[in-house]
Amino acid sequence: MTSLLLPVSDGRIERYTIKNAALPVADGRNAPPSFNRIAYAAPHVVADPLANGDPWLDTAIDWDETLKFRHYLWDLGFGIAEAMDTAQRGGGLSWPNALELIRRTLAEAKSRPAALVGCGAGTDQLEPGEARTLDDVIAAYEAQIEAIEAIDGRIVLMASRSLVEIAKGPEDYKRVYDHILRQVKNPVVIHWLGEMFDPALTGYWGANDHMGAMETALAVVADNAAKVDGVKISLLSKEKEIVMRRRLPAAVRMYTGDDFNYAELIAGDQDGYSDALLGIFDAIAPAASAALSQLAAGDETAFHKLLAPTVLLSRHMFRAPTRFFKAGVVFLAYLNGLQNHFHMIGGLQSARSLQHYAELFRLADAARVLRNPELAAKRVSLMMELGGIN
């Protein structure tokens, strides 16, 4: 088996030997697998490393490779949650670029029957401090929703940093969300993104504790249930998700955004289950697709067996500072030959250490999500050599 030199936590260098073959993956290009859960993957964007510019300042996207990755996920049965946090929305991907990404993805989806696409709508065209009133926040939401609905996109209603800046309490959140939800053409997914993913969202829903914030969110959903397809909660707490899930109106779905506990939340309990809208599906798509197929076939044991090692990988990828998880997602895409470089918009590949990436490689091997382990080892070895390990 292939071996390579990797750093370990105490700074020593050890030889690691790949232990596992890749999971077998069914060819879903003609007939993608069917699941008994709605499963959105929130995919990354592929940067263009050959663009002539300054990566910290200029956003250069390889559109062909970015769209090819969406087809890869569709082939495995996933819906696409486009222009979300995993795509570096608000962290390198501007609103104009996000709209272009949404436009291109929706155009690609037309070639695929029943392709599922949700489109992130927020207020990120506003600079910090630019919004002066709640009406400014409402107008920003309206502008993005109008642009997405004009190209037949379905809305994932993202959390607003500007609303956090302006709102004085829960009633201000209710006013904004009630106003927006009354206008949308189709039911939306409301995304509650926790401060561990974006510190600027601390105190969302007008409360500093999550349980207090949940009361406001639930009131918004209850008052607008006909316009809400579901709620995506990203707090990395299975207990809080289950509490909220059990209190949602019967027709409103819970979409887990818990990258620490997704397996048990998707499997569910006697009172219900969560559908999924997850960034980790970008990185573990073959294993997640196989697991969801087993769940749909009624084999929950096989579902958990496939996903259990991916949870360990995900917890490492999403460890604090959680917002840097995106670097791990793109790292695995590179190792798996899904793109030919490890560059990110904003230069975000530098956000994690060589030790972090080495452990991510080991965990990916354990989870059997390396499509070609020899190629992955070669690419990791190159990274390590550039870091002084040879």
Q: pLDDT tens digit string along 134-165?
A: 999 999 999 999 999 999 999 999 999 999 99
What are the backbone dihedrals phi and psi of residue 92, each rounded to the nearest 5 degrees, phi first?
130, -30
Taking 50 as the pLDDT cut, the residues of the chain under it are none
Residue 28 has a pLDDT of: 66
Q: With CA atoms as reference, report the closest residue to 86 among 279, 310, 234.
A: 279
Distances, alpha carbon 72 to alpha carbons 60, 108, 205, 336, in Å: 21, 12, 36, 12
Q: What is the dihedral of CA 384, 49, 334, 380, to 10 degrees?
A: -10
For residue 270, count other CB atoms closer than 10 A to its CB. 4
* Rounded Cα–Cα distance for residues 226 and 134 (Å): 24
Q: pLDDT tens digit string along 83-101?
A: 999 999 999 999 999 999 9
Question: Topology of domain 29-352, per CATH?
Answer: TIM Barrel (3.20.20)
